[in-house]
Amino acid sequence: MRLLLLEANYPPNRHFFSLVRFWITLVVFLAMGPTVVTAVEIELRPAINNFDGRVEAAHVDWKAIGQVNIRGMRSIKQCSGSLVGNNLVLTSAHCVVNPLTRKPYPPGSVFFVAGVEPGNKFVAASNAKCVRVLADLSREKGPIGPALIILNKAITEVAPFSISYEYKPVPESELTHAGYPGKKRYQLAIQSECQVTGAKGALFSTDCNGDPGSSGGPFLIEAGSKLEVVGVLEGKNGKEEAVGVAIEDLSDIINATLQCKD
């Protein structure tokens, strides 16, 4: 398994400054007036600095993966998701369901931000027009399954992923997973050569990292010269294995969802 992670190239820490340098710095600072230093000014390395070569990077538009953010009065919830249509986002059901009410969050509080990078950069963003949860909302520990987000504004700056409905999880088969882990929220983590460790129905466990924030991020397989979405990350099991759910045929549901019909 390989983990590709965008790392910030921060300057090395210095434990002290010489007295002379301190005074020179202080004089220059006072002469220039107040200055605000932000993360935008930090030099950063490319997002994908060592792609494994099994699929050419040019054939995969990673910017179709983004953040799914829920904004509320008392909390902010963060997940990942992927574009599977110009105005359609695939994520995990628990990402868009309020655990207290067991109902989807209001569409106006659900946002998708595509192609997020350090330095407050992103490709495009939109809030939801409607949300369709494809899971049992009555489950006591929360829904397990995918969810679709219809965006108010179509994102045409990046090509969406295709969904493969033929995928059946088989132990030891390889997958790629991508998402935005909470501990490095603005850095897309891409794991190739993950392996399925077990499967039961649509659910499967893997040796991928299932860090919080990555939930809803896509599992992908190679399909010729491109990658196709076959599932979404749900979380971790008792063995600390990342658990995903395979995507079943959503054609009819997508057609209805695109019009935000019940």
The string of pLDDT tens digits covering residues 110-142 is 999 999 988 888 999 999 999 999 888 888 888
* pLDDT per residue as tens digits for the range 56-90: 333 457 999 999 999 866 667 899 999 999 999 99
More confident residue, 10 or 77: 77
- Alpha-carbon distance of 25 to 33, in angstroms, equals 12
Who contacts 184 (Cβ-Cβ below 8 Å, separation ≥6)?
A: 5, 6
Q: Is the pLDDT of residue 165 over 90?
A: no
- What pTM value is reported for the model? 0.76
| Mean pLDDT score across all residues of the chain | 76
Give pLDDT tens digits for 92-102.
999 999 988 99
Alpha helix positions (H), 10-154: 19-32
| CATH (one of 2.130.10.10, 3.30.70.660, 2.40.10.10, 3.20.19.10) for 59-160+250-257 | 2.40.10.10
* Domain range annotation of the chain: 59-160+250-257
Q: Which pLDDT does position 258 carry in this prediction?
A: 67
